[in-house]
Amino acid sequence: MERVALTPALLLHRRPYRDTSQLLEVVSETYGRVGLVARGRRAAAALQLFQPLLLSWTRRGELGTLGDTEADGPAHRLEGRRAVCGLYMNELMMRCLARDDPHPEVVHAYRRALAELAAGADEATSLRRFELGLLDGLGFGLDLAHDAADGEPVVAGTWYRFVHHQGLVRTSSEQGAVDGAHLLALVAGTEVPTGAGAAIRRLVGEALAQLIGDRPLATRRLLGTHSPRGG
């Protein structure tokens, strides 16, 4: 039997389970995505989304039973559209992370994005950085600083698009492409220019399709309806 004592984790998803229990999906740097049963309403009520947690559980088989629960610092308070951004990241991790397959780099990128969103950082930039961190952590890293065809550095004023099984490549057409200047800004961690947001989102989304397939994310549709800029 696996016994885990107060390991850092975050809640990704919850749903009713049997009578008064809930089925939880949590993510941990050490254990990856884990399915847990929280028995009783009181135990489940102590768990909130976007709250760093310390969780204990026992497990024999696929599902564990939640034990002690403590807060591991203040909650990341996300409201309105920013809460939808957080739910989008949760859904993306639920789709991309297999149970019991730890990817600490992905969890670190998730924690960073939550902190940025709670601090008022630009939503689109934080989401793109998280998505790129997710791709990188799962072995599908997208190099935004070099042309995948010849290894040459990305150049401002040159247009680039994503090609499946290859990566970022130069193109002579502006349609559906991203200016190298905007890609370099994203690499540098600076804010995604408003006019380039849709093109960058589309490019990173094409890379993510390798992981999530054709079935759309419910929260992606919500992001599109909550702001003219989109997520």
The secondary structure of 108-145 as a DSSP string is HHHHHHHHHHHTT--HHHHHHHHHHHHHHHTT----SS
Phi, psi for 105 (deg, rounded to 5): -65, -35
- H or E element that contains 68: strand 63-71
25: domain CATH number is: 2.40.50.140
- H or E element that contains 34: strand 32-38
* Domain final residue pick, 29, 52, 71: 71
In a domain? residue 55: yes
- Of 230, 226, 221, the C-alpha closest to 192 is 230
Sign of dihedral through CA atoms 217, 218, 222, 224?
Answer: positive
Contacts of 89 (CB under 8 A, 6+ apart): 110, 113, 114, 127, 130
Model confidence pLDDT, tens digit, residues 36-95: 999 876 666 678 999 999 999 999 988 999 999 999 999 999 999 999 999 999 999 999
Amino acid 192: pLDDT = 75
Amino acid 35: pLDDT = 96
In a domain? residue 208: yes
Please tell me whether residues 129 and 34 are part of one structural domain: no
* Domain final residue pick, 24, 44, 71: 71
Please tell me whether residues 26 and 118 are part of one structural domain: no
Please tell me whether residues 35 and 100 are part of one structural domain: no
The whole-angstrom separation of Cα 26 and Cα 35 is 7
In a domain? residue 76: no
Please tell me whether residues 65 and 85 are part of one structural domain: no
For residue 161, the SS3 value is strand
* Domain final residue pick, 71, 96, 119: 71
| Domain extent for 214 | 81-226
Please tell me whether residues 23 and 127 are part of one structural domain: no
- Of 41, 42, 130, 23, the C-alpha closest to 85 is 130
How many CB atoms are closer than 10 A to CB 219? 18
Model confidence pLDDT, tens digit, residues 135-173: 999 999 999 999 999 999 999 999 999 998 899 999 998
174: domain CATH number is: 1.20.1440.120
Please tell me whether residues 98 and 30 are part of one structural domain: no
Statement: residue 23 has pLDDT above 60: yes
pLDDT confidence band for 176 (50 / 70 / 90):
confident
In a domain? residue 108: yes
